[in-house]
């Protein structure tokens, strides 16, 4: 038996920091590359067995035709059967539930149905966490996540850039003399939003042409891209600042509209992970909004530097995801086969919100080994956790203890709160 003394501090600290990822989410999270994803490889091709995906209800009550072999005929994904007949529940490999209808009470989970062994339930949402509602009641139910996030089990972004095929040259001439410096199309305007505040500051420095429902300059969908094409820059500002939340504002409005996107939403690193360098401008790259305005003005006047922001079009093309059928067929791609067979999201709320997980090191035998100043889990292991002290017992997600230290502690009468995990000690729930 390996004793605590023989463990190096680094090894033990790493274990403590990655522990909550295994307990709460069922696996270690990791980023997935969105670009150059080829839909011609599927995990079940060698077996020749069709995977049946049952959509329990259509998102927003808008259904699409499922006649024929939809996944193959439309997206060239073989051995993937997409159905919406609930009578096929017992034979389905994956059952998909869209979050919006669940949280609004318009649909319910089939918890009374006998769940076949090996069947996976997938939680699907393309909304930002703030709009997903209360997910605490869905603990220990879902085996898969289908979202825009790169660390989802199945990633379905709003869009992505794909390499152009050999001989496919879609480079278009970008006009260098445009009528508007900066444009913004916005329908959901709220003055308290961060993007609204940045807009007002930027508009004080340079002219910003605004379209949308909250202005008198309403823009029909047919005129969206032609209008943006006359703008040097487009404000691809997301209404929520959250991990990986990059919507059609970048992929369609800016990239397909022919304007250089000025982005705000996730951190700069999230954009760099999915978009080529020198293809966008992030507001966080500037000390002030005023400095951003100056840069945009200078860039528009320098035609050579401005045109460099479109060199990505020589090698890449925009792919938009707007059809729920295509999103669901992606389940049958290679990534599905790599998922653990017995995975379950025991805290879907925590995973979705990205909140910190608190680990309590119970009693001094463990606490005296390390300094817990700062964000030690991030600093040493890049794992978003918080190693706490005994004062945080009631709010801890995971308690790490030994039997001896548990009984020696004066707080031994305390009992784990709902959802709290104990590792070691007499109350180990592993």
Query: Which residues are part of the catalytic machinery?
Result: 127
Q: Taking the mean position of all CA atoms in its chain, how far away is CA 77? A: 23
Q: What Å distances lie between residue 268 and 256, 262, 284, 286, 379, CA to CA? A: 21, 11, 7, 12, 19
> Coil, helix or strand for 169?
coil
- CA-to-CA distance for 236 and 244, rounded, in angstroms? 14
> Coil, helix or strand for 354?
coil
Instruction: Give the ranges where 60-109 is alpha helix by DSSP (H).
Output: 70-75, 99-103
- CA-to-CA distance for 100 and 397, rounded, in angstroms? 27
Structure tokens at 199: 């807009």
Q: What Å distances lie between residue 358 and 277, 302, 330, 396, 417, CA to CA? A: 36, 50, 34, 5, 13
Structure tokens at 283: 């507001």
**Residue whose structure tokens are 């699907």:** 124
Across the beta sheet with 120-124, the strand order is: 80-83, 51-55, 94-98, 120-124, 144-147, 154-155
Q: Residue 269: in which H helix or E strand, if any? A: helix 268-274
- CA-to-CA distance for 360 and 398, rounded, in angstroms? 6
Classify burial at 365, counting beta carbons within 10 Å of its beta carbon; exposed 0-12, middle 13-18, buried 19 or more: middle
């Amino acid at each position: 038996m390996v004793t605590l003394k023989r463990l190096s501090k680094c090894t033990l600290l790493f274990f403590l920091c990655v522990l909550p990822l295994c307990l709460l989410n069922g696996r270690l999270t990791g980023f997935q590359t969105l670009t150059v994803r080829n839909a011609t490889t599927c995990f079940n091709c060698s077996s020749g067995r069709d995977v049946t995906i049952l959509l329990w209800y259509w998102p927003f009550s808008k259904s699409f035709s499922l006649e024929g072999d939809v996944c193959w005929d439309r997206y060239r994904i073989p051995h993937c059967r997409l159905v919406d007949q609930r009578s096929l529940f017992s034979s389905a490999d994956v059952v998909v539930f869209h979050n919006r209808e669940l949280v609004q009470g318009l649909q319910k989970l089939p918890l009374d149905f006998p769940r076949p062994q090996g069947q996976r339930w997938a939680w699907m949402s393309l909304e930002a966490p703030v709009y997903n509602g209360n997910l605490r009641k869905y603990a220990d139910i879902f085996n898969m996540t289908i979202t825009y996030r790169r660390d989802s089990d199945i990633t379905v972004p709003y869009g992505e850039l794909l390499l152009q095929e050999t001989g496919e040259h879609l480079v278009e001439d970008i006009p260098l003399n445009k009528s508007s410096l900066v444009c913004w199309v916005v329908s959901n305007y709220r003055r308290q939003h961060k993007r609204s505040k940045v807009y007002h500051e930027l508009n004080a420095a340079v002219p910003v042409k605004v379209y949308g429902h909250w202005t008198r300059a309403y823009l029909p969908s047919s005129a969206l891209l032609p209008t943006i094409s006359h703008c040097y820059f487009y404000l691809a500002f997301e209404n929520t600042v959250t991990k990986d939340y990059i919507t059609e504002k970048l992929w369609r409005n800016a990239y397909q509209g022919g304007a250089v996107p000025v982005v705000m939403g996730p951190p700069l690193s999230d954009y760099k992970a999915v978009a080529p360098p020198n293809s966008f401008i992030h507001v966080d790259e500037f000390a002030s909004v005023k400095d951003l305005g100056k840069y945009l003005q200078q860039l528009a006047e320098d035609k050579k530097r401005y045109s460099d922001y479109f060199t990505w079009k020589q090698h890449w093309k925009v792919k938009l995801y707007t059809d729920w059928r295509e999103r669901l067929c992606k389940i049958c791609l290679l990534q599905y086969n790599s998922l653990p067979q017995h995975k379950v999201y025991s805290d879907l709320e925590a995973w979705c919100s990205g909140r910190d997980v608190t680990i309590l090191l119970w009693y001094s035998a463990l606490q005296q080994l390390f300094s817990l100043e700062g964000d030690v889990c991030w600093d040493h292991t890049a794992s978003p956790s918080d190693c706490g002290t005994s004062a945080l017992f009631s709010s801890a997600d995971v308690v790490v203890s030994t039997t001896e230290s548990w009984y020696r502690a004066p707080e031994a009468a305390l009992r784990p709160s709902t959802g709290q995990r104990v590792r070691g000690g007499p109350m180990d729930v592993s």
